[in-house]
Amino acid sequence: MHTPLEDLFVKTRKENRSALIGYLPAGFPSQQGCKNAIGVLAKAGVDAVEIGYPYSDPVMDGPTIQQAADISLRAGTGAVDVFDTLKYAHQLGLPAVVMTYWNPIERYGIERFATEMATNGGSGVITPDLTIEESERWKNATAFAGINTIYVVAPSTTDDRLALVTSQCSGFVYAASLMGVTGARADLSSGGRDLVSRIRRVTDLPIAVGLGVSTRDQARTVAGYADGVIVGSAFIKALLDAKSEESGLEALSLLADDLVAGVREGR
């Protein structure tokens, strides 16, 4: 059985292009606002969405995503809202994954979380703080539910560790292009390209690069060497900086058009 995410990468490889994956936290700027934003991304041609499970201690997230998560948490966003947003993205025809720290999965129930993911059309889960050594129950639950397990590797990951971690991945490998937290950056580090070439030596899985992409030029650059370009903070900033939700969606639409064009120009 193939997930919609796996089918997407088969399609983009045939088209010799990278995929653009947009990240938004569930419940931001509001529960309906998040769905509206996902609709805007879909209309602009974004290929897949990564839905963040808002969490109070996000070790990998920079200030922009933390601010959005705070807004979402204050509104009471929980698992039900995350799965509802996931289902909405799936109904729009977008391959959708959830990014969550381990604690919410454990609290919800490991098997139950994996089952709900599949029931609501989710392709897989990105777990940035779960090590493969502690993944046995999660691997069993996701295998049973038929969803992808996506782990994060970084420039500091050793070659031996890269081979080990990527062998446990499915869907794609999440390559964090630099050491540090998420956030839009004026300049991209060379770490992404180097890391992708190291990952390619140990796996044939698609590789998506996250952390830092915010402009058409940057999207074009990363799309030149990676199978997927993940954009989060730049999309969130467009919504945070807007005077109203309506003007935020307009800004989001313009940015998404720009980034979609950049990714398509990458090859």
Catalytic residue among 47, 50, 116, 227: 50
CATH, residue 161: 3.20.20.70
Could you tell me the residue range of the domain that residue 205 belongs to? 4-264
- Taking the CB of residue 28, how many other CB atoms lie within 10 A of it? 26
Q: Give pTM, 2 decimals.
A: 0.94
To the query of whether residue 227 is one of the catalytic residues in this protein, the response is no
Question: Alpha-carbon distance 55 to 64, whole Å?
Answer: 14
b/e 232-246 (16+ beta carbons within 10 angstroms → b): bbbbbbbbbebeeee
Q: How many domains does the chain have?
A: 1
Query: Is 250 part of the annotated catalytic residue set?
Result: no
Per-residue pLDDT tens listing for the chain (267 residues) = 699 999 999 999 999 999 999 999 999 999 999 999 999 999 999 999 999 999 877 566 678 888 888 888 899 999 999 999 999 999 999 999 999 999 999 999 999 999 999 999 999 999 999 999 999 999 999 999 999 999 999 999 999 999 999 999 999 999 997 644 444 444 555 678 999 999 999 999 999 998 789 999 999 999 999 999 999 999 999 999 999 999 999 999 999 999 999 999 988
Q: How far apart are CA 172 and CA 205, in angstroms?
A: 6
Catalytic residue among 61, 81, 116, 227: 61
Interior angle at CA 240, CA 253 and CA 255, nearest 5? 25
